[in-house]
Amino acid sequence: MTGTDFVPLAYSKKIANGKITWKSPSNIALVKYWGKKENQIPANPSISFTLDTCATTTTVSYQKLEEEGNEFSFDLRFEGKPKESFRPKILTFFQRVEKYLPFLKSYHFTIETSNSFPHSSGIASSASGMSALSLCLMSLEKELHPEMSGEYFNKKASFLARLGSGSACRSIEGDLMEWGLHSDTEGSSNEYAIKYPYPVHEVFKNYQDTILLVDKGQKQVSSTVGHDLMHDHPFAEKRFSQAHTNLTKLRSVFADGDLDGFIKIVESEALTLHAMMMTSLPYFILMKPNTLEIINKIWSFRERTNSHVCFTLDAGANVHVLYPEAEKEIVYQFIKNELVAYCENGQYICDAIGYGAKKM
């Protein structure tokens, strides 16, 4: 399916008003999306674990307008209070998706969101937020067109979410989601994410992710600026092809439950992401001293104990500590004894692999 398949034909039903709520999770990339082309097309394919606890709940109330307006009509509320600062982002999103959701100017929307994680935790809410909003709009479209299949619903929700924020397209389903054209993955697409279609060993089910909040401040580099840095980047092409290779390597890692292979790819991806930022112009260091302390502690713990704990990073200083469920007790003790001291105000979030968004 491509974009044109998501332009709907005439709707069979008329709906005056209603209310829809979706809870959609965040996700953590194992092979990173970093660099994009026009229209939110990724420069390389990526794969992520869908999370469970870190999520956004969005309620969209809609009221049919007497006559269709020239502008989009919506109010925004965040955690119970009006939130005008979200307006530009939502407006851009509506402009990008209007072609695919032709009813957008026929309704007044009230969009209410709340996050399960603390507001200023340095955790990006764009993936969970944009996927939750896309799902609410898809639920309205399904009311207008009840014959819609479940498969189309999910694909189009992912397609719309991508137009809001690239990584959001990987938050619709779980537990492993792949986004971006990859010659070794059947059904892969640049326009939406798919459920990883090959065998996955038991050891990767219920994988744990403890998120260490090293720096809860505002992001130093927005993702838009970050992706832009990959244009004219001296190492961009090599990096993009490395992502393809890593995805191919993950196929047997997932099938065989090869934890050592998994660790090598995941940690290398995280460090490569940061290496790209350090070698762009302008350049950035997004790790903090405590990020490095944590990485070194993880490495020495692994050497000492033969544990399979590893880390990954997003475009910031926080550390995602990943480990199999079977090692939950011992790794959690290690985190409490040795890593929490490096977190801002000792804060961290215990999360695990999740199975996608839920209609409430």
> Which stretches of the chain bind ligand DP6, using CB under 6 A?
29, 32-34, 40, 46, 124, 126, 165-167, 223-224, 227, 273, 314-315
Q: Is 354 exposed, middle or buried (0-12, 13-18, 19+ CB in 10 A)?
A: buried
Please report how close the Cβ of residue 21 comes to ligand DP6 at its closest, in angstroms.
23
Q: Closer to ligand DP6 at the Cβ: 208 or 272?
A: 272
Please report how close the Cβ of residue 215 comes to ligand DP6 at its closest, in angstroms.
15
Q: Closer to ligand DP6 at the Cβ: 144 or 322?
A: 322
Ranked by CB distance to ligand DP6, the top (closest) residue is: 166
Q: Closer to ligand DP6 at the Cβ: 142 or 175?
A: 175
CB 308 within 8 A of CB 327: yes
Please report how close the Cβ of residue 38 comes to ligand DP6 at its closest, in angstroms.
12
Please report how close the Cβ of residue 130 comes to ligand DP6 at its closest, in angstroms.
8
Q: Closer to ligand DP6 at the Cβ: 126 or 139?
A: 126
Give the C-alpha separation, 252 to 262, whole Å: 10
Please report how close the Cβ of residue 125 comes to ligand DP6 at its closest, in angstroms.
10
User: Rounded to 5 degrees, what are φ and ψ at 28?
Assistant: -125, 120
Q: Closer to ligand DP6 at the Cβ: 144 or 317?
A: 317
CB 70 within 8 A of CB 105: yes
Q: Is 293 exposed, middle or buried (0-12, 13-18, 19+ CB in 10 A)?
A: middle
Please report how close the Cβ of residue 141 comes to ligand DP6 at its closest, in angstroms.
22
Q: Is 75 exposed, middle or buried (0-12, 13-18, 19+ CB in 10 A)?
A: middle
Give the C-alpha separation, 341 to 193, whole Å: 37
Q: Closer to ligand DP6 at the Cβ: 124 or 160?
A: 124
CB 70 within 8 A of CB 119: no
Q: Closer to ligand DP6 at the Cβ: 142 or 227?
A: 227
Give the C-alpha separation, 297 to 309, whole Å: 11
Q: Closer to ligand DP6 at the Cβ: 138 or 315?
A: 315
Give the C-alpha separation, 217 to 286, whole Å: 12
Q: Closer to ligand DP6 at the Cβ: 27 or 139?
A: 27
Please report how close the Cβ of residue 36 comes to ligand DP6 at its closest, in angstroms.
6
SS3 326: helix
Please report how close the Cβ of residue 255 comes to ligand DP6 at its closest, in angstroms.
22
- What does the DSSP 8-state code read for residue 45? -
Give the C-alpha separation, 173 to 297, whole Å: 33
User: b or e along 324-334 (b: 16 or more beta carbons within 10 Å of the residue's beta carbon)?
Assistant: beebeeebeeb
Please report how close the Cβ of residue 90 comes to ligand DP6 at its closest, in angstroms.
13
